[in-house]
Structure 1
Amino acid sequence: MNYSAWKLFLAAADLGSLSKVAQSYGTSQPQVSRQLNELEQECGGRLFQRTGRGVVLTEFGERVAPKVRAWVAGTDQLVNDIHSTSGKPIGTVRIGILPSMAHPLVSTLYYRVKERYPLVQLSVREGQGAQLENWLEAGHVDLAILFRHSPMPKHGDVYLVETETYLVGAEGDRVTVNPTVQFSALHNLPLVMFCRPNSWRDRLDQLALEHGVALNVAVEADSLSLQTHIVADGGMYALLGPYAISNAGRDCRLQASKIINPQITRHIALAMSRHGELTLACRTVMQLVREIAQFGGPESTGRGIEVST
């Protein structure tokens, strides 16, 4: 079996786009297409259905993919185990992360890995909470950095940081003029929120029900950039954590007030795939993430946008 060609097959199945696969591998789209066509000829059936938006697995491809994924993972693991007998981490660590936390955590992690463990490669994908959960469940990522609402970690999660929730408005906005704002002030306030399904939305709905507050979701948008730009235009509000606000402050003029009565806390957690044992490289990257998190993240100035410390 052609290991490299089957790796391309899995990449195409995950990304759904031959151009993205080509970009990821530093090759051309025709070259990727040619190799996949050769695979289909060897298999005696079509693996992909070409659509106007990319490629999707055929029924035959759906049956083949899990077996190929297990074979590739086993092959990678064997190579890594052989090298790891020397005690040196090696291999690719696949990480899923929320867009609001991608920078500067990922860039810091990248340079630290490059400096200390040159045989380890990072493969980072951004996604929202439900998407990250699906990737973990399917084994598409080894680790995920995401929000958890439970006060105690479950399923082997490692809690890194506890964060507060802020009501974000445009600079000069009257509702967010003070360092804190009552949860009751959200009543009928026009909000920009993440699209469903979303566990964060579910938790906010539950809190609103408990406190008799009507949440007025005027716009749904999964893009943090879109959310913060809409808010910066004035008249709309978002409920965000300090990392998202700190990053948005580079492009938008915003101000934020911490929500109180009740305070809404979340935990930034490091979650692990439940498929197989973690490699030495994965365990090493986990330790680095915890190390980076210990130095802290954005903190509120008490007025306006959070700043990193």
Structure 2
Amino acid sequence: MDVKQLRALLAIAETGSVTRAAELLHIVQPAVSRQLRLLEEDVGTPLFERGRRGMDLTEAGRILANHARRALHELDQAKAEIAPSPDVVSGSVTIGLLPSTSDLLAASLVIHLRELYPRLTVNISVGFGGYLQQWLEDGEVDLALMYEPKPSALLETAPLVDETLYVLGLPDKDLSLQGELALSAVAELPLVLPALPHGVRSLLDRACSLADLHLNVIAETNAMNVQKSLVQSGIGYTILPGVAVFDDVAAGRFAAAPISKQAVHRKIVLAQALTRRSSIAVRCAATELRALIKRKLEQGAWPGATWLDD
């Protein structure tokens, strides 16, 4: 039993197909089939059975897949704790950031990584959570910050930040940073929101569904600057995390009020693909990104957020 076999197991479990697993792992299909066959010979029992939707894990397969995720996580964690010398960290790493976090993190992260590892090339990709998850699974980014993603056997996630969400309106609206709003009050407001499958919209829709409420959405846009522009035009309100609104509130351009965290809040996680070997460059970038976020919170530069990874 080796790491390649465990990654093949998880890829087949997620995709339900040896063919799609091979595409995901960027290797030929016979290699995946061989790794599965060797793994089944090693444990002495079938790990998959044919179902209506493709290959389904057997009970033995489910047990092994759960242990495989933990084993791969522990291996990556051990490698992350072994600090390499700067001169051996080279190549490139692509980091995915959410639009609401990119202004706060991108420049500091690139500068810090370049100072620590001069031979490392850092690429930043910015996108919404659904796109980041797809890019991560497709190998277009090496690690990414995202809202809690939909469950996937292909991803390893570590919760980092819990964020309060804020209603943003014009300065003359009855909004205060000290005045928490119930979800029922938020649902009655004329709202400018991103469309599904945007993470914040999904959170709000799920919370309203559980509370038997309906959002009053009057316009949809997936561009944060357009959300703010439409609010500034006076047609309604929008909902954003604190990191995206506090400068505007301090400058007097908008007013804001927090939504009750009992009703809705979002967690940001650091995600990596379990199906790919984590390079030294990726592990170093992940360590520094985690440390940078913690420093930003300690400095008060990320309003409305609390650190989770301790």
Provide TM-score, normalisation by structure 1: 0.64
Contact 2:182 2:260 in 1 (8 A): yes
Q: Do the aligned partners of 1:136 and 1:274 also contact (CA within 8 Å) in 2?
A: no
CA deviation after TM superposition for structure 1 residue 87, in Å = 6.3
**Which residue is equivalent to 1:293?**
293
Partner residue, 1:265: 265
Q: Structure 1 counterpart of 2:172, which letter?
A: G
Once residues 247 and 158 of structure 1 are traced to their aligned partners in structure 2, the CA distance between those partners, rounded to angstroms, is: 28
* Amino acid of the structure 2 residue aligned with 1:107: A
For the pair 1:163 / 2:166, whether they are aligned, the reply is no
* Structure 1 position 104 matched with structure 2 position 104: yes
**Gaps spanning 5+ residues in structure 1: where?**
1-65, 71-83, 301-309
Aligned match of 1:204:
204
Relative to 1, partners in 2 of residues 1:200 and 1:149: Cα closer, same or farther, differing over 3 Å? farther
- Structure 2 counterparts to residues 130-169 of structure 1, below 5 A: 130-148=130-148, 155-169=155-169
Answer yes or no: is the 8 Å Cα contact 2:109–2:289 preserved in 1.
yes
Q: Cα gap change, 1:121/1:247 in structure 2, threshold over 3 Å: closer, same or farther?
A: farther
Corresponding residue pairs, total: 221
Q: Which has the higher contact order (CA 8 A, sep 6+)?
A: 2
1:94-128, Cα deviation, whole Å (9 max, x unpaired): 11111111012011101101111111111111111
Pairwise CA RMSD? 3.1
2:156 and 2:274 in contact (8 A); partners too: no
- Counterpart of 2:156 in 1: which secondary structure? coil
* 1:279 CA drift (Å): 0.7
Q: 2: CA distance between counterparts of 1:148 and 1:86?
A: 32
Amino acid across the alignment from 1:128 = F
**3-state SS of 2:88 partner:** coil
Report the alpha carbon displacement of residue 233 of structure 1 after superposing the two structures with TM. Answer: 2.4
Identity between Structure 1 and Structure 2 (%): 26
Cα 1:139/1:281, change in 2 over 3 Å: same
- Structure 1 residues 262 and 86: alpha-carbon distance in aligned structure 2, compared to 1, 3 A threshold: closer
Letter in 1 for 2:144: A
User: Which residue identity does 2:303 align to in structure 1?
Assistant: E
Runs of 4+ displaced beyond 6 Å: 84-87
> Is 1:216 equivalent to 2:216 in the alignment?
yes
The 1:85/1:234 distance shift into structure 2, 3 A limit, reads closer
Equivalent AA in structure 2 for residue 92 of structure 1: S
* Correspondence 1:39-54 to 2 at 5 A: none
Give the distance between the partners of 1:180 and 1:86, measured in 2 at CA. 47
Hey, what's the Cα distance between the residues in 2 that align with 1:100 and 1:261?
Answer: 19
Verify: 1:281 aligned to 2:281, yes or no.
yes
Structure 1 match to 2:254: 254
